[in-house]
Amino acid sequence: MAEGEDNNTIFYAADVAQVRDIHPEYGVTSVPSALHFEKGVLRNIVKGCHQPEQFNAIFDKPAVLVSANGEKKVQKNVTVYTTPTCTWCNVVKRHFQEHGVRYREVDVSRDQKAAEEMVRRSGQQGVPQTDINGEIIVGFDKTRINSLLGIN
């Protein structure tokens, strides 16, 4: 256990070779993964975390993006609908991590209601699908994602 910078955040490490029930209990399909709990409820999972800035993507503090010219702005709400075997899902998540974009990931292979809602909203079954403040992007459309998020 190690406390975070604000002294309100506590980090735990679980060795999945020793804690075998974490996989089915929390839907962990790859390691390393960072799980964010709030008041005992799982709020978000960020898969493939290796760099410290990637872990910041799971916390609910307002995200502030800084553009190339130094302009600061509050980040838009971003949700990525994925499946564990989707290569392009990993590409879009890596893109967000590289640019410090916080996002919520929804694994539609494990959440039937979310899958149905995704199809209802977009008319498409393919993943990844990204919701940026209500704008749906099917696939990894880097130009549109960057435009909506103000990434240069």
Tell me the pLDDT tens digit for each residue of 112-144.
999 999 999 999 999 999 999 999 999 999 999
Helix, strand or coil for residue 26? helix
Say which amino acid occupies 84. P
Tell how strand 72-74 and strand 41-47 pair up: unpaired
Domain segments of the chain as ranges:
1-59, 62-152
Compute the distance between CA of residue 119 and CA of residue 125 in angstroms, rounded to an integer.
Answer: 6
Helix, strand or coil for residue 127? coil
pTM exceeding the 0.75 threshold for the entire prediction? no
CATH of span 62-152: 3.40.30.10
Tell me the pLDDT tens digit for each residue of 76-112.
889 999 999 999 999 999 999 888 888 889 999 989 9
pLDDT band at residue 51, thresholds of 50, 70 and 90?
Answer: low
pLDDT reported for residue 54:
53
Beta strands in the chain (DSSP E): 2-3, 10-11, 33-38, 41-47, 64-66, 72-74, 78-82, 104-107, 129-132, 135-138
* Of 106, 94, 103, 43, the residue nearest 75 (C-alpha): 103
